[in-house]
Amino acid sequence: MQPPPVRSHDPKTNAAKSLLIIRMAFLALLTALGQAPAVKADPAAARLLIPERIFDGEKFLADRAVLIGSQGRISAVGPAERLTSAHPDVPVRRLNGVTLLPGLIEGHSHVLLHPYDETPWNDQVLKESRAERVVRAVTHLKASLAAGFTTLRDLGTEGAGYADVGLRTALEKGVIAGPRLIVVGPAMVVTGSYGPKGFAPNFRPPLGAEEADETRVITVARDQIGHGIDWVKVYADYRWGPNGATRPTFSRAELQAIVATARDAGLPVAAHASSIEGMRRATLAGVRSIEHGDAGTREIFALMAEHGVFFCPTLAAGEAIARYRGWHKGRDPAPERVRRQHSAFAAARGAGVKICAGSDAGVFRHGDNTHELELMVEYGMSPTEALHAATAVNAEMLNMADRIGRIAPGMAADLVAVRGNPGRDIGDLREVVAVWRDGVCVAASCP
Ligand SMILES: [Zn+2]
């Protein structure tokens, strides 16, 4: 067992203590002079929010007030009049014309990437310093939060090692503002499959993920788990066949070994898979979610449903890449990948597989994550179904349904207020009025 760190004689800690004392004295002086800096609303103070309507994670309800308790949790939900008279001392915030929803959950992002039409993926991995990538990620986290996303499952640093683990720690310590972050570190790929590619054979560039094969998959999975990841991410297939065709990568035995290793440590596995064979192997190996699934058929989605595997279609990324290649939506016919996305999405809905809302933000602009929900509606879901996916379903996928994804007593007060009614027009999700994380108003204007 690793011994606990010794702190008492650490000169750095003592210096930090001295700085804290000086800072406190300075703040006391400012307060005495009447110049105390603005402080956020006291998270310990209870508030009663009365919006026009709420979406509770499943359905829309009118005449519902939400009481944010003193511990950053929702302590009551009920008719406005009943809650106001039951809590006469609690400050009331009326949100006229506003819908209150659970904080949105992004099922698939890459905060260490930015849009490929700004900088190609290869150049981000090979030419951007780790410092630049982390600084960009901090702005991406802020943009995601401002868009109403209070939780992100971030599915791979793409060459930035464990920078996501460090970002998660900085968020937990309150050093930076952002959504709660669920991370996978470098992710796992089979040797020879992943990029950057196209270099002279004597030159081995750093890769966008960590290679592992055969029995080494167990060592690499354990090493990644030891570095503090929350999920294991694998690429069950990739574009490495003839003419760049998508072909399976890990064998079923390798995938099973990874899933078993992760399961022993209490971690779920997410699998990138676009081909039927990749999806089949990942499903039978016991992964928790499959990302992309472009070639998915009704049969493979039925198999996923039978095994309780979630499907994250990442429609927004597929359309973004088509746009970068010159597709003008509305003017040009849909390219093949977008057509395949449409049929896979319809097949998945028909097969009854649980559909996650995961956009693959990073391929396109962070803060534009709600575009995935707009496309889910365009591809056939009702706005209510798309919102259910981005809240309660994603929370279930993350095994966090007891904490986030619903407006109900006992849940974390992660909330987003938007002007209008996204149940009628999903586009209203972009009209963010305020965002709360753990009961503290953190983005947009705090009512
Ligand atoms: Zn991705």
Cis previous bond, 313, omega within 30: no
Q: What's the CA-to-centroid distance between 233 and ligand 1, angstroms?
A: 10
Task: Kindly state the DSSP code that residue 361 receives in the 8-state scheme.
Answer: B
Q: What's the CA-to-centroid distance between 219 and ligand 1, angstroms?
A: 24
Q: Give the span between the Cα atoms of 246 and 264, in whole angstroms.
A: 30
Q: What's the CA-to-centroid distance between 177 and ligand 1, angstroms?
A: 23
What pLDDT was estimated at residue 44? 52
The CATH code of domain 47-102+408-444 reads 2.30.40.10
Assign residue 174 a region: left if phi > 0, alpha if psi is -120 to 50, beta otherwise? left
Burial of residue 385 (number of CB atoms within 10 Å: 0-12, 13-18, 19+): middle
Pairing of strands 289-292, 310-312: parallel
**Distance between first and last Cα of the chain:** 49
What pLDDT was estimated at residue 40? 36
Nearest one of 146, 102, 41 to 431, comparing CA atoms: 146
Q: What's the CA-to-centroid distance between 156 and ligand 1, angstroms?
A: 7
Residue 445 CA, distance from chain mean position: 23
Going through 240-368 in order, the beta strands assigned E by DSSP cover 246-248, 269-273, 289-292, 310-312
Task: Kindly state the DSSP code that residue 275 receives in the 8-state scheme.
Answer: S
Top CATH class, 104-397: alpha beta
What pLDDT was estimated at residue 53? 98
Residue 68, phi then psi, degrees to nearest 5: -85, 120
Q: What's the CA-to-centroid distance between 360 and ligand 1, angstroms?
A: 5
Q: What's the CA-to-centroid distance between 80 and ligand 1, angstroms?
A: 42
Q: What's the CA-to-centroid distance between 110 and ligand 1, angstroms?
A: 6
Q: Give the span between the Cα atoms of 376 and 365, in whole angstroms.
A: 18
Q: How is the chain split into domains, by residue range?
A: 47-102+408-444, 104-397
What pLDDT was estimated at residue 60? 98
What pLDDT was estimated at residue 28? 39
Lookup: tokens for 49: 């929010």
Other CB atoms within 10 Å distance of the CB of residue 405: 30
Evaluate whether 284 touches 306 at the Cβ level (below 8 Å): no
Nearest one of 197, 265, 275 to 227, comparing CA atoms: 265
Q: What's the CA-to-centroid distance between 146 and ligand 1, angstroms?
A: 21
Angle, helices 252-264 vs 216-226, to 10°: value is: 30
Other CB atoms within 10 Å distance of the CB of residue 198: 7
pLDDT averaged per 10 residues in sequence order, the chain, 447 residues: 40 40 39 34 72 98 95 95 95 96 98 98 98 98 97 98 98 96 98 95 96 97 98 98 96 98 98 98 98 98 98 98 97 97 98 98 98 98 98 98 98 98 98 96 77
Helix H or strand E segment including 341: helix 336-351
pTM, two decimal places: 0.90
Q: What's the CA-to-centroid distance between 362 and ligand 1, angstroms?
A: 8
Residue 182 CA, distance from chain mean position: 7
Evaluate whether 311 touches 107 at the Cβ level (below 8 Å): no
Side-chain-side CA neighbours of residue 193 (13 Å): 24
Task: Tell me the chain's radius of gyration from C-alpha atoms.
Answer: 23
Sequence-separated (6 or more) residues with CB below 8 Å from residue 210: 186, 187, 188, 189, 220, 224
Q: What's the CA-to-centroid distance between 214 and ligand 1, angstroms?
A: 24
Q: Which single residue is written with the structure tokens 């947009």?
A: 444
Sequence letter at residue 178 = G
What pLDDT was estimated at residue 446? 73
Q: What's the CA-to-centroid distance between 169 and ligand 1, angstroms?
A: 22
Q: What's the CA-to-centroid distance between 277 and ligand 1, angstroms?
A: 19
Q: What's the CA-to-centroid distance between 271 and ligand 1, angstroms?
A: 10
The CA–CA distances, whole Å, from 346 to 288, 342, 378 equal 21, 6, 11
Lookup: tokens for 338: 């977008």
Nearest one of 441, 435, 419, 447 to 146, comparing CA atoms: 435
